[in-house]
Structure 1
Amino acid sequence: MILLTGFEPFGGQPMNPSWAAALAARDLLRAAGVAVDAVELPCVFGAAGSVLRNALDDLAPELVVCVGQAGGRERVSLERVAINCDDAPIPDNAGNQPVDVPVVPGGPAAYFTSLPVKAALLAVEKAGVPAEVSQTAGTYVCNHTFYTLMHELTSRPGVRGGFVHVPFAPDQVDAPDQAQQGSGAPSLPVASMAEAIAAVVRASLAVPAGATRPAGTTGPGDVALAAGSLH
Structure 2
Amino acid sequence: MKILVTGFDPFGTDKINPAIEAVKKLPDTISSAEIIKVEIPTIFNKCAEVVHQAIIDYKPDYVLDIGQAGGRSALTPERVAINFDDGRIKDNAGYQPLNQTIHADGQNAYFTQLPVKAMTQAIIEAGIPSYVSTTAGTYVCNHIMYQVQYMIDKEFPDLKAGFIHIPFLPNQVLKRPNTPCLSLADDIKGITAAIKAIVERDGKNDIEVIGGSLS
TM-score bracket relative to the smaller structure: over 0.9
Q: Distance in 2 between matches of 1:199 and 1:2?
A: 14
Contact map agreement 2:131 2:212 (CA 8 A) in 1:
no
- 1:7 alignment partner in structure 2: 8
Please report how far the alpha carbon of residue 217 of structure 1 lies from its aligned counterpart in structure 2 after TM superposition. 3.4
- 1:215 alignment partner in structure 2: 211
Please report how far the alpha carbon of residue 206 of structure 1 lies from its aligned counterpart in structure 2 after TM superposition. 1.2
Please report how far the alpha carbon of residue 34 of structure 1 lies from its aligned counterpart in structure 2 after TM superposition. 3.1
Give SS of 1:35's match: strand
Please report how far the alpha carbon of residue 6 of structure 1 lies from its aligned counterpart in structure 2 after TM superposition. 0.3
Please report how far the alpha carbon of residue 198 of structure 1 lies from its aligned counterpart in structure 2 after TM superposition. 1.3
Give SS of 2:57's match: helix
Contact map agreement 1:124 1:199 (CA 8 A) in 2:
yes
Q: Distance in 2 between matches of 1:167 and 1:104?
A: 29
* Amino acid corresponding to residue 211 of structure 1 in structure 2: I
Contact map agreement 1:7 1:68 (CA 8 A) in 2:
yes
Map 1:88-103 to 2 at 5 A: 88-103=87-102
Q: Distance in 2 between matches of 1:87 and 1:58?
A: 30
TM-score normalised by L of structure 1: 0.87
Q: Which runs of 5+ in 1 are unaligned?
A: 220-231
Please report how far the alpha carbon of residue 184 of structure 1 lies from its aligned counterpart in structure 2 after TM superposition. 3.9
Aligned-CA RMSD value? 1.5
2:185 is the counterpart of 1:191: yes
How many pairs are equivalent? 211
Q: Distance in 1 between matches of 2:214 and 2:172?
A: 31
Please report how far the alpha carbon of residue 33 of structure 1 lies from its aligned counterpart in structure 2 after TM superposition. 4.6
Map 1:48-63 to 2 at 5 A: 48-63=47-62
- 1:168 alignment partner in structure 2: 168
* Amino acid corresponding to residue 166 of structure 1 in structure 2: I
Please report how far the alpha carbon of residue 183 of structure 1 lies from its aligned counterpart in structure 2 after TM superposition. 4.8
Q: Distance in 1 between matches of 2:14 and 2:53?
A: 26
- 1:138 alignment partner in structure 2: 137
- 2:23 alignment partner in structure 1: 22
Q: Distance in 2 between matches of 1:33 and 1:60?
A: 17
Which structure features the higher share of helix residues?
Answer: 1
Q: Distance in 1 between matches of 2:32 and 2:163?
A: 23
Highest CA radius of gyration, 1 or 2?
A: 1
Please report how far the alpha carbon of residue 101 of structure 1 lies from its aligned counterpart in structure 2 after TM superposition. 0.5
Contact map agreement 2:112 2:149 (CA 8 A) in 1:
yes
